[in-house]
Structure 1
Amino acid sequence: MFAYYLSRFFLVSVVVSFRFEELGIGLLSARIGMDALIYCDIIKNFFTGYFDSEKNVTVLKPRLIAIKYLKFYFWVDFISTLTPLMYPFRMVYGKGTTIDLCCEVVRFLRSLMIIRVKRWSYTMELFRQYMNLSSYLSKAAKSFLAYIIVMCWLYTVYMNVRNVMYDYVYHEQIKQVKLRRYFSITLILLLVSYGADPSRKLLDALVTIVFIAIGFCMQMYLYAQILQVWKKLSNAQNKNDALFRQFKEYMKYKGLPIHLRERVFLFFSFKFQNEFYRELHINKMISDNLRQEILLHVTKVHIQRVELFSSLPEDVLQKVVSRLKSEIFLPDEVIVEAGSTGSCMYFIQFGTVAVYTRAGREICHLQDGAHFGEIALVFNETRVATVVAVTACELYKLKRIDFFEVIENYPEQKQKVIEMAIQRLLIT
């Protein structure tokens, strides 16, 4: 939708420099096609629900939808697409003062479509959220495209005003060729000059002054948006740099060796991806339910892959997920060691680990989505393998005490988990 509105503004700004009889088949077809899509959109809007922010409800009743649409936006959409209806009148009645005036009025009313820029902006925001794009990049692109749209709209308004002035005030033809008219209005809006061929007529001078003022406001808007994006980026970067300097000073004060400093930098680079944030502070700000929902979204797929959890209902799984704790391991760090007593299991969120026997022989590699140590979650058994991080890893840890605390209130599910663990233990 946002691409359609952008192309529509561009097409209208091109068509406005042509009179009705000058339009070729290509431009005429494109114009009618664009308007046909708007007519389809008008019909669709009568059946598309909306959110009432005052009552905090979604409205889906056709009657209420139609009433809201007919109050304002229907007339904006309809009036801005009246141009194709003038072609039959022109063909039937031919050229004439009244018909020509009606055509000019209809062309001028087409400028009302600028009111729908709000819808374009909303659609672009939905696209950003769906694609998970950077807010900085999105704001910069949105501001630039909005500037282009308004420029195209100003081309349309300027040329319509000039057409009416020369046809009904001066009663003469505009002498500038089409491309030179675009060049002239561009010079005015960019505050370069009074136009390619400045006119000495009073009305022309007044119109030029008005559009110079509009061009100045447009440039101020664009500069303000650029500064806003730049300020946000620089503030975020300054905070990151300040934290980075604190880490360097801390390690310098502690007299840490080079290899240990590199491991500290590797840890923070992996955990925060060079964008530092206060995770504990964020977790305190959001509600318990929301925090649990986020954790469930991140780990649900991993949890469901565990055979021991296959019989657990959804509400129990959610409680299990709430007990998970995130841990970061750097390359060559031992996660669990053979011969030690197990008391927890791990889920691999990111990274790769290697599994070794007690003799040091490598058995396999486990990657994103895998898990290990599930028997230790149920029984106080000795670990039979050593697990070492191959790359930087983020793991979720589930302790036995936390797990049994959750399923203690579900004796049937607890018994099933124990029976499945016994079977796994006998097989291995």
Structure 2
Amino acid sequence: MIHPDKPWKRIWDLITFCATTYFAIEVPLRIVFDYKIGTQIALYERIIQILFGIDIILNFFTGYFQERTLITKRKLIAKRYLSSWFIIDFCSAFPFDIFGQFFYSYFGLTDSLRVLRLARSVKVFELFKSLRMLSMGERDDYQYKVLEVLSPVTFRLAFFVYWTSLFAHWVACGWIHLNPGFLKNSDNITRYIRSLYWSVTTLTTIGYGDITPTSNEQTVYTMGVMIVGVGIYGYVIGNISTILSTIDISRIAFQEKLNSINSFLKYKKLPSHLSNRIRSYYFNLWENKHGVDEDDIWEDLPVGIKADVSFYLHEKLIDSVPFFKEKSEELKREVAIELKPVLFMKGDWIYREGDFPNNMYFIAKGQVEIYQENTKTVIATLNEGSFFGETDLFERTERKLSAKAIQFCDLYILDFESLDRILKHHPEEKVKTLKPKKSAKVKKKSSKNKR
């Protein structure tokens, strides 16, 4: 059985999509202008017909997804295909011109039967969905990494432009077919452009009136196109407004948040230096995270996925700590899921000398200075991928140095209680479980802080 997400299958779908589009455009033109194609074009069309025939065979051997389950049983695949696209595919692939005498006797000109290939255009919607996704490689027998190459908004826009353009083309060809004398003294290109102009102005409900129907058939046809045009016009307006409102929904949400913050600052009458710090925080949050609140996302994820994502994102940060580097993957995964994001603005103190340590820190973005306040000396400048604060945490002693953010910093913290709990889960690692010292020193320090 063929997996529907195999890369070569998606390339095949792209080829059949292009061939289908060719017939959807060319067949109506050939019918209304009644021109003959050359030998080379006829050969290309025969090749396309062969490709359509091969596509029918492949569809009998291509699995499909049902409620996220891959169906590979041949009988189920054949039954589904025979009840859906088989008739349309067969009509588009069958070589009516080879059996021209038979079809001429019963149906008239064999070129008119080419219109059956237009039925395959309905399948373009399914091909569009397939081409929206791109397979990236095999993981096991029936699973593939799939990349979304078109966002839903882009997909809807591309699909809408494709179908409206194709429909306008068909309407233009229909106008020429109903009015064979339309600009008869002009060349076919001019006749087509003028009829396409009439089609677009009518479908968009503009209707300048410079090209008007002259027979009952043309009048009825025009009324039908007008009715369809009203629906298309409403669909266009609705979709464009939806696309514009969702094209950058995160930016819209951020702007609404900023408006609420400005109202809050105005109501509370905060001084300018505090107001500017608050605004600066949210602007930095937007520039670095596009306003995404990680806590909300983590809350919605199940524990298993949360552990996998955390380990993937933070494995390098955890391995940068010598204490964790040689530990088991299971322990590292538990550490990763306990990491909590925290943000600091430029100039914020992360901790000060004499504070009692409760956390160690990992730098995801930004720069941190390790600072000795007594001598006003910068001991080290730490960048992305570094860690700090672990020595005091492991020794359970007061902070000997201070840490200060010199840029907007995106950090992850691991608190002592979580680390102690993780180590107790892994006695086989033969590490000494960290225990806090007596709380007398903490109390003493806290009283010092009060003074």
TM-score when scaled to structure 2? 0.72
Q: CA deviation at 1:225?
A: 0.7
Which segments of 5 or more consecutive residues in structure 2 lack a partner in the other structure? 1-9, 136-145, 435-451
Residues 367, 270 of structure 1: alpha-carbon distance in 2 compared, 3 angstrom cutoff: same
Q: CA deviation at 1:104?
A: 1.0
**Other-structure match for 1:308:** 323
Q: Which of 61, 64, 68 is the equivalent residue of 2:80?
A: 68
Q: Which of 205, 215, 223 is the equivalent residue of 2:237?
A: 223
Q: CA deviation at 1:413?
A: 1.7
Which segments of 5 or more consecutive residues in structure 1 lack a partner in the other structure? 419-428
Residues 270, 44 of structure 1: alpha-carbon distance in 2 compared, 3 angstrom cutoff: farther
How far apart, CA to CA, are the structure 2 residues paired with 1:12 and 1:195? 31
- Does 1:109 pair with 2:116? yes
Q: CA deviation at 1:187?
A: 3.6
The superposition leaves residues 215-252 of structure 1 with CA deviations (integer Å, 9 ceiling, x where unpaired) of 22222211111122345579876654443233224334
More off after superposition, 389-398 vs 267-276? 267-276
Q: CA deviation at 1:381?
A: 4.8
Structure-to-structure mapping, 1:297-376, within 5 angstroms: 297-337=312-352, 342-356=357-371, 361-362=377-378, 365-376=381-392
Q: CA deviation at 1:327?
A: 0.7
Give the secondary-structure state (helix, strand or coil) at the position aligned to 2:346: coil
Matched letter for residue 346 of structure 1: Y
Q: Which of 262, 266, 276 is the equivalent residue of 1:262?
A: 276
Q: CA deviation at 1:118?
A: 3.0
Partners of 2:364 and 2:384 within 8 A in 1: yes
Partners of 1:187 and 1:195 within 8 A in 2: no
CA RMSD of aligned residues (A): 4.2
Residues 277, 415 of structure 1: alpha-carbon distance in 2 compared, 3 angstrom cutoff: closer
More off after superposition, 109-118 vs 18-27? 18-27
How far apart, CA to CA, are the structure 2 residues paired with 1:380 and 1:132? 51
Q: CA deviation at 1:329?
A: 0.9
How far apart, CA to CA, are the structure 2 residues paired with 1:38 and 1:301? 50
The superposition leaves residues 325-368 of structure 1 with CA deviations (integer Å, 9 ceiling, x where unpaired) of 11101112232456655443212222233445675555654333
Partners of 1:108 and 1:157 within 8 A in 2: no
Residues 415, 271 of structure 1: alpha-carbon distance in 2 compared, 3 angstrom cutoff: same
The superposition leaves residues 130-169 of structure 1 with CA deviations (integer Å, 9 ceiling, x where unpaired) of 3587x6xx42552354233243145247636965x68xxx
Q: CA deviation at 1:417?
A: 9.1
Q: CA deviation at 1:210?
A: 1.9
Structure-to-structure mapping, 1:44-55, within 5 angstroms: 44-53=58-67
Q: Which of 252, 259, 265 is the equivalent residue of 1:245?
A: 259
Matched letter for residue 408 of structure 1: K
How far apart, CA to CA, are the structure 2 residues paired with 1:304 and 1:67? 53
Matched letter for residue 366 of structure 1: L
**Other-structure match for 1:203:** 217
The superposition leaves residues 376-420 of structure 1 with CA deviations (integer Å, 9 ceiling, x where unpaired) of 4533256565443232111110012211112202101252898xx
How far apart, CA to CA, are the structure 2 residues paired with 1:32 and 1:8? 11
Partners of 1:341 and 1:383 within 8 A in 2: yes
Give the secondary-structure state (helix, strand or coil) at the position aligned to 1:322: helix
**Other-structure match for 1:397:** 413
More off after superposition, 18-27 vs 143-152? 18-27
How far apart, CA to CA, are the structure 2 residues paired with 1:4 and 1:142? 21
- Does 1:130 pair with 2:147? yes
How far apart, CA to CA, are the structure 1 residues paired with 2:379 and 2:220? 83
Residues 270, 80 of structure 1: alpha-carbon distance in 2 compared, 3 angstrom cutoff: farther
How far apart, CA to CA, are the structure 2 residues paired with 1:268 and 1:405? 34
TM-score when scaled to structure 1? 0.75
Matched letter for residue 114 of structure 1: S
- Does 1:183 pair with 2:194? yes
Q: CA deviation at 1:44?
A: 3.8
How far apart, CA to CA, are the structure 2 residues paired with 1:223 and 1:366? 53
How far apart, CA to CA, are the structure 1 residues paired with 2:339 and 2:44? 58
Matched letter for residue 130 of structure 1: L
The superposition leaves residues 275-318 of structure 1 with CA deviations (integer Å, 9 ceiling, x where unpaired) of 65666555555544455454444324423443332344444333
How far apart, CA to CA, are the structure 1 residues paired with 2:274 and 2:62? 60
